[in-house]
Structure 1
């Protein structure tokens, strides 16, 4: 008998678990780095999620839509979390690594 390639239904009970697994996986990509005594949250942005153009603060060049990059923001700024998040910047991968 040929093998069926259709996914098997696992029931409604596991769908909540799958959503929480996905959200924890996505949160796992965010990391914390310390550079020159400043703590930064760093979130990689994949090519599929890069929807707009940005200016990289490292080189002043444009990060075109569809280019993988990182978003970084301070986690220990003097004005608090909301201000830190509002001041986040999009960096080329290379510029962030050497910056």
Structure 2
């Protein structure tokens, strides 16, 4: 009976990106009739101040937060320019 283990393909070994794993997984959320990309940002990746559109407060460096942008924008990749950084609690409350 043949083995069910997948065969290893040729190519270089890609090391595990632990920082990316700790950040969380990007997802699409549906809110108010629109789709939104939601990407968690870990403390190590937060390197500057951002203004949270939910509360108007500052998200300081090294504070985990969310980056959110429209998934269903008619502007395609340009929608990425419209990303906003949110406190997780402010995004949940929006």
Alignment of 1:1-99 (within 5 A): 16=13, 18-19=14-15, 22=17, 26=21, 29-80=25-76, 82-99=77-94
Distance 1:70 1:15 in 2: 32
Structure 1 segments unaligned to the other structure (5+ residues): 1-12
Structure 2 segments unaligned to the other structure (5+ residues): 1-9
Secondary structure of residue in 2 paired with 1:29 = coil
* CA deviation string 1:54-96 (max 9, x = no partner): 000001100000110000000111222x221110000001101
Which TM-score applies when normalising by structure 1? 0.72
Distance 2:75 2:26 in 1: 22
Larger proportion of helix:
1
Runs of 4+ off more than 6 Å: none
- What is the RMSD computed on CA atoms of the aligned residues? 2.5
Which TM-score applies when normalising by structure 2? 0.76
Aligned length: 83
